[in-house]
């Protein structure tokens, strides 16, 4: 079974963010594959490896620098990569509409997404793509099994877990769980250089979410150490009740 994984290049989560106008200054910022997308790539590789057939394609919509992210996925073991070149916005529906025509040309009964991107964190592109393609979609999947004509998924919901079954073709968005990503081996990194990476101009849909302003999170008021050890508890509770009105 062929699987396509949609991945995104994002700033490393350790990175300090410097704001310039309505963007971040990318000078000196290290970029990585979004962590949940790594889980999704890992999941796809495990399925094709255990079935002993099928190819994993990684797809991204981004600028030239996203080649690096695609190569990282190829080094993990993905078979081929497609870059849709264009300017990405925060409008996940615009991103979904840009990805769908490409996904429609692919023979992939399973399309995987990360549950959320580490930069925009909109948690929407996966289910939007599924809706546009009229496919079944399970979000926040922490583990899944591919069976005859369908997929059985474990998913996280508020207050518990669910087991959900869907028929393929299907779209899954992957959360943290069973798919701890592998490190690329040296052999994998060498092999990735020769794997096919196709570049196309994206037919990007216009964004309808305009960033008017970007700023740093409000400073939290200066905190204070109430005291040391259990003796400080009474004062803490008093402050929580009278000052913070949190109890």
Partner 1 sequence: MGDILAFAEQHEGSIRSGSYEVVSAAAQVAAGLGGATHALLLGSPGLSGAAGRLGAYGADVIRVAEHEALASYSPEVYAATVADAVREGGYTAVVFAATSQGKDLAPRVAALLDVPLASDVTGIGTDGGGVTARRPVYAGKAFVRLAIDATPAILSIRPNVFGASERAAAGTIESFTPDVTEPKSRVVERKAAEGASVDVAEASIVVSGGRGMRDPENWNLLEDLREALGPEAALGASRAVVDAGWRPHGEQVGQTGKTVAPKLYIAVGISGAIQHLAGMRTSQTIVAVNKDPDAPIFGVADYGIVGDAFEVLPRLTEAIKVLKHGG
Site for partner 1 (CB under 8 A): which residue of 156, 189, 191, 204? 156
Question: Per-residue x/- mask for ligand FAD, residues 52 to 91, rule CB under 6 A?
Answer: ----------------------------------------
Minimum distance from CB of 139 to ligand FAD (Å)? 18
Out of partner 1, ligand AMP, ligand FAD, none, what residue 88 binds, judged by CB under 5 to 8 A for its kind, is: ligand AMP
Specify whether the CB–CB gap between 186 and 41 falls below 8 A: no
| Pairing outcome for strands 160-167 and 170-174 | unpaired
Specify whether the CB–CB gap between 129 and 103 falls below 8 A: yes
Residue that the structure tokens 């959900």 belong to: 164
Q: Which residues share a beta bridge with 144?
A: 153
Closest-CA residue to 110 (of 92, 94, 95, 126) = 126
Out of ligand FAD, partner 1, ligand AMP, none, what residue 95 binds, judged by CB under 5 to 8 A for its kind, is: ligand AMP
Residue list 29-88, contact with partner 1 (CB under 8 A): 35-36
CA distance 11 to 26: 8
Residue list 186-225, contact with ligand FAD (CB under 6 A): none
187 phi/psi in degrees, rounded to 5: -60, -45
Specify whether the CB–CB gap between 3 and 48 falls below 8 A: yes
Torsion of CA 96, 39, 59, 121, to 10 degrees: 30
Is residue 61 involved in binding ligand AMP (CB under 6 A)? yes
Is residue 35 involved in binding ligand FAD (CB under 6 A)? yes
Question: Per-residue x/- mask for partner 1, residues 19 to 38, rule CB under 8 A?
Answer: x--x-x----------xx--
Site for partner 1 (CB under 8 A): which residue of 106, 136, 191, 204? 136
Q: Where are the alpha helices (DSSP H) in 105-148?
A: 125-132
Residues binding ligand FAD (CB under 6 A): 13, 35
Residues binding ligand AMP (CB under 6 A): 6-8, 34, 36-37, 60-62, 88, 92, 95, 113-114, 116-117, 120-126
């Amino acid at each position: 079974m062929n699987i396509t994984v949609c991945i995104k290049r994002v700033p490393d989560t350790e990175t300090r963010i410097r704001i310039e106008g309505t963007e971040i200054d990318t000078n000196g910022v290290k970029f990585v594959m979004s962590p949940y997308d790594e889980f999704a790539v890992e999941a796809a590789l495990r399925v094709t490896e255990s079935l002993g057939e099928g190819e994993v394609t990684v797809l991204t919509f981004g600028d030239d620098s996203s080649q690096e992210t695609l190569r990282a996925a190829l080094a993990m073991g993905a078979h081929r990569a497609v870059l849709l070149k264009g300017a990405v916005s925060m409008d996940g529906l615009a991103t979904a509409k840009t990805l769908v025509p490409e996904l429609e040309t692919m023979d992939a009964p399973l399309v995987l997404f990360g549950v959320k991107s580490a930069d925009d964190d909109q948690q929407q592109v996966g289910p939007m793509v599924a809706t546009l393609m009229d496919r079944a979609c399970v979000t926040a999947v922490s583990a899944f099994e591919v069976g005859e004509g369908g997929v059985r998924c474990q998913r996280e919901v508020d207050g518990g877990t669910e087991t959900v079954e869907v028929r393929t073709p299907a779209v899954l968005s992957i959360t943290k769980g069973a798919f701890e990503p592998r490190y690329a081996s040296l052999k994998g990194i060498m092999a990735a250089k020769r794997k096919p990476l196709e570049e196309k101009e994206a037919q990007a849909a216009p964004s309808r979410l305009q960033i008017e302003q970007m700023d740093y999170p409000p400073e939290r008021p200066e905190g204070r150490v109430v005291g040391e050890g259990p003796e400080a508890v009474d004062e803490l509770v008093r402050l929580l009740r009278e000052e913070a009105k949190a109890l």
